[in-house]
Structure 1
């Protein structure tokens, strides 16, 4: 499989490294999610200020809902300016985002974190949902941003998570940058692009991707298809790759490229101020292939969010 199809192609489509098993436990449902359970009772100080006077600097572990979460922050907090929070793709972590974070921190406070099951953070107890991974993101924002506005900049699966999170948290998410974000209908896109009758590497890719979306990935995150919900009029930059590397997949590559491009256009519905651009020299890792494109987009959205 991997000898015939580039690993980057597999990672981009299924949002993670293939071959990971699923731990026991059921997926967390929206009904089970407690949006207020960002800290334990013993850690809660009702008299503490919501806007931290001692912001996190460097890399440290913080406790959220009983789990250890690895967080990295750099740059100086500035009054009125949003905190930029970077969300990595599946199979990655804060280390992958380090160079981007360092560059952005010259003008903004910038933080990133390892989601449960990724990097140096704890493993989830069982299958995760968008609600449960959103709970961890809320806890991170509580500790790194307090009541300051936030701009979320996500790559691949991180972009999908950011775009799903923003509509429910309009009070704090004031801008989005989606860097080749996983399509909101990726599972359906793959099933349409690669038919069930496919054989060989394409059939394996189809089966592995569908398994991954059901939770067979390091984060144990179940990734269902869904409609794009609006986050209002926040500034949004959607950046898609320009080098058609998915064409490496025999026979079905062109279909997958068209499906991916259509998925990027679907994300424009997340805001009435969303704009789509193409990183012409980039494959999936836009912030690695063309870091200046990612930096420019994030700084633009951060400045627009400041003026709101």
Structure 2
């Protein structure tokens, strides 16, 4: 009976893996310099709000696929061109590189995607969590790129804060057994996370399949190992030479307090830095849900206007 249950679980997992590997069917693919195969999609603006038609690039957090950003993308894509992609191992992207994964390889893959899909237009990197740190590191290689960071991670944060290091260790412990258990179908037992109900209906099933897919958990564990190691190095917060807008959730507590000093350092390092705190949005709600999307859309428009000047409605 146990063997039958395991066989059934593995069968369900194989069907789920197939659905994830099919994705939306609209993705394009890039063989990155790292050897990874990166899936991406360019969503041209219907009616560009600015003559320069800046390219807004979404960079998701550890353990998240870009499909979870669909509500925000749908709210923005009439006015703004958007580049979406999944890092290696997430969604239809495949991890193929030899050697040890590092945050630098994620930065390299991101730069490859922007070079492939972008043009001479302005680029705005919009990163969340670990994706915010990857965007911050990529900005150094993109002389004209601006940054919009949502609750970003920081260099040396695990060296600077015992609390953040402890939370990272707990996250690693929680991730440790997920790939193997997902391989045998046990991820079907995972309760849908709170963010699932906030997703547009047409991507909800795909996002839940991705959430229960062993490859997502393998990618998350790989990124966690790199981040947990590298963020204990005494690296400084990079100096940002281009416009930067920091968006923080309204989560209160010791964890948020640990980040405040780093937020202040980032803004001080930027030639043109600003910040918005979303009073009614919690850390785990970014960048999903109607309330979060309604808060972010005008911020994006205002930030892009500060870069590109008056738009068509001015």
State the TM-score, normalized to the length of structure 1.
0.66
Cα distance in 2, alignment partners of residues 106 and 143 from structure 1 = 22
Residue matched to 1:240: 248
Residue matched to 1:298: 300
Residue matched to 2:187: none
The change in CA–CA distance for 1:210 and 1:263 in structure 2 (over 3 A counts) is farther
How big is the shift at 1:269?
A: 3.5
The change in CA–CA distance for 1:295 and 1:218 in structure 2 (over 3 A counts) is farther
Provide the alpha-carbon RMSD of the alignment. Answer: 2.8
Is 1:115–2:119 an aligned residue pair? no
Residue matched to 2:154: 183
Mark the runs of 5 or more structure 1 residues left unpaired by the alignment.
1-56, 196-202, 245-253
Cα distance in 2, alignment partners of residues 84 and 292 from structure 1 = 17
**1:184/1:266 contact within 8 Å kept:** no
**1:243 aligns to what SS in structure 2?**
coil
- Summarize deviations over 1:129-184 as a string: whole Å, max 9, x none: 232212111110111112322000011111111112212321x31x1111111233
- Summarize deviations over 1:178-225 as a string: whole Å, max 9, x none: 11112333212442x379xxxxxxx6x45335789xx97244662323
How big is the shift at 1:58?
A: 4.4
Residue matched to 1:208: 170
The structure where helix makes up a greater share of residues is 2
2:43 pairs with 65, 74, 80, which one? 74
How big is the shift at 1:63?
A: 2.4
Is 1:279–2:251 an aligned residue pair? no
Aligned pairs (5 A) from 1:241-260 = 241-244=249-252, 254-260=253-259
The change in CA–CA distance for 1:243 and 1:67 in structure 2 (over 3 A counts) is closer
Residue matched to 2:130: 157
Aligned pairs (5 A) from 1:220-235 = 222-223=226-227, 224-225=230-231, 226-232=235-241, 234-235=242-243
Cα distance in 1, alignment partners of residues 99 and 297 from structure 2 = 35
1:62 pairs with 15, 30, 35, which one? 30
Mark the runs of 5 or more structure 2 residues left unpaired by the alignment.
1-24, 176-218
Residue matched to 1:166: 139
Count residues in correspondence: 229
How big is the shift at 1:307?
A: 3.5
State the TM-score, normalized to the length of structure 2.
0.65
How big is the shift at 1:82?
A: 1.3
Residue matched to 2:77: 105
How big is the shift at 1:113?
A: 0.6
The change in CA–CA distance for 1:101 and 1:269 in structure 2 (over 3 A counts) is same
**2:38 aligns to what SS in structure 1?**
strand
The change in CA–CA distance for 1:307 and 1:230 in structure 2 (over 3 A counts) is farther
How big is the shift at 1:69?
A: 0.8
